[in-house]
A and B are shown apart, each in its own frame.
Chain A
């Protein structure tokens, strides 16, 4: 329990503090009470939780040229093998809906099997033009043809790594630039586990304390999904960082600028050059390639 209390009050460099605490304890015991086992003090591991905060993709993935070709081929086979469509049940004869369906279906057949496949229309051109105008008017009434939002966000162009709207097709993860032992390192939101606290509760508290409570996040499950055991300055104390996965639902990260200097929303490839090699080997399989 001693070690844990020291850890909590020791500030930015817990490992060194623990090391010193035990060395002084060993010194005093050897001088005053030789019966205390100074060679094997009970060292509690240094437990912390880290949260891998994920922003899921907000756009569908653009298919590769191969996928496009595959889908097109499969759609053509499917169309060729489909059962005949019962017009007479679904449409009243000569209704606007039927006209629209016929025009659209001809267009789809043309795309699927080529212009020579579709037989020429046997209606007089005046009627065909009237039908086309009526269908266009119907489409306008139903609000079709609205311009879609672009798939590239302004933050992609300006490469704003703090924006949650960047890289809509990819999974993004929150990385913090924290000051650890006088050195600036990129890592996931992280913090120590307090006494009588469960791991998943600690994960939630640590996430909000480092990344700000201006967001709505959900931690997935109660089990940690990975563990990182860094070697500290005191090799006899074991350090464990348990990883949790979380999703951001709303809001944005906010950092205090003192202990945590900066944050970034990054894809898997962008995380690799920023973090320590050993750290990367632990988290790389947790992060999504897409």
Chain B
């Protein structure tokens, strides 16, 4: 019964009709000289993703159970106003920027109440590398650029994903005497979302981290460190890989001869949706669920 329909579906995937005849030629991008489709195309998932399934099958439930804080409705107190804003009814301050006098108190904001919707999840992974030599000559940026392309499979605005910038050059924001000038390329960065993000974690945890010498885990900050700093409540887990570790990525290992001798290392930021007090712990719980180890010094 079901076999003919399945085989027909399989057949339809591989059978190609004649390509549609183009009425007029596609507009070409002035910068890349490549033909541009006249509709905005966004590509979605193109293969099953093991780690994403793992998140939805196992991690999401576990993290909800582990990070749940019981707060019946109406029990949360309004934040204490240390120093008040200007009188909002005052015609002078009514339509002006009116920040509270004590600052934003960012590090002291409580976490949002636990709901099934705001279980901690991975939003994106940012990879970046700063190349000092590129300040002298931007040709030195080519190898790191190609390295990040090979690592992540992303290109600049490639694959029709307009939501993702792809690989970007980082340029100097301002001149710093004798070192950096405004607008010159100084590094490479890429934001990974969705499938490519999970693929990168998979490569990292299965090929790279197990082969690193003297790596027991991402070093945790000492227990005495403040929990109220903006970095401790941002829900971002960051660590770096040294230049020696880059050889272990199979994407680079396969043709390591193509790159010059010294490849730069990379910084990796796991950006999660956790905010408020204790965000760092929740973010670490999530990242360690993807088998990235943590260790105390």
Q: Does A72 contact B (CB under 8 A)?
A: yes
Given contacts A97-B254, A113-B16, A290-B57, contact A74 B158 (CB under 8 A): no
A65 touches B9 (CB 8 A): yes
The stretch that binds B, out of A5-13, A33-41, A88-96, A154-162, is A88-96
- A61-97 at interface with B (beta carbon < 8 Å): 61, 63, 65, 67-72, 74-75, 77-78, 81-84, 86, 89-92, 97
Contact indicator B58/A56 (Cβ below 8 Å): yes
Asked if B258 is an interface residue, CB under 8 A from chain A, the answer is yes
Whether B50 sits at the interface, judged by CB under 8 Å, is yes
Known contacts A67-B48, A97-B255, A288-B57; A81 and B158 CB within 8 A of each other? yes
Q: Taking the complex as formed, is A57 at the interface, i.e. its CB lies under 8 A from any CB of chain B?
A: yes
Contact string, A94-110, partner B, CB cutoff 8 A, digits 1/0?
A: 00010000000000000
Within 8 A of B (CB), among A228-277: 245, 247
- Flag whether A220 is at the interface (Cβ < 8 A): yes
Q: How far is the CA of A74 from the CA of B194 in the complex (A)?
A: 14
Contact of A71 among B46, B160, B258 (CB under 8 A): B46
Which chain B residues in 130-147 approach chain A with CB under 8 Å? Answer: 142, 146
* Partner among A56, A81, A90, A116 whose Cβ is within 8 Å of the Cβ of B150: A90
B66 touches A75 (CB 8 A): no
- In the assembled complex, the CB of A141 is this many whole angstroms from the nearest CB of chain B, namely 13
Q: How many positions in chain A have a CB within 8 Å of any CB in the partner chain?
A: 41
Decide if B273 is an interface residue (CB 8 Å cutoff).
no
Contact of B43 among A60, A81, A113, A225 (CB under 8 A): A81
Partner of B255, one of A91, A288, A290: A91
Residue of B6, B32, B46, B53 most packed against chain A (CB within 10 A): B46
Q: Tell me the minimal C-beta distance from B279 to chain A in angstroms.
A: 18
* Chain B minimum-CB-distance residue to A142: B254
> Contact at A89–B37, with CB atoms within 8 Å?
no
In the bound assembly, the distance between CA atoms of A221 and B61 in angstroms comes to 11
Question: Are A63 and B43 in contact, with the CB atoms below 8 A?
Answer: no
**Do B16 and A114 touch (CB < 8 A)?**
yes
| B68 / chain A contacts, CB cutoff of 8 Å | 221, 223
Q: Report yes or no: B13 in contact with A82, Cβ–Cβ below 8 A.
A: no
Quick check: A220 and B6 within 8 Å, CB to CB?
Answer: no
Whether B37 contacts A81 by the Cβ 8 Å rule is yes
Q: Which 10 A-B pairs have the closest CB atoms?
A: A114-B16, A81-B160, A75-B46, A221-B66, A83-B155, A74-B46, A83-B158, A221-B65, A78-B43, A65-B9
Give residues in B with beta carbon < 8 Å to A. 6, 9-10, 12-14, 16, 19, 32, 34, 37, 41, 43-48, 50, 53-54, 57-58, 61-62, 65-66, 68, 70, 142, 146, 150, 155-160, 254-255, 257-258
**Which residues in A have some Cβ–Cβ distance to B below 8 Å?**
54, 56-57, 60-61, 63, 65, 67-72, 74-75, 77-78, 81-84, 86, 89-92, 97, 111, 113-114, 116-117, 171, 220-221, 223, 225, 245, 247, 288, 290
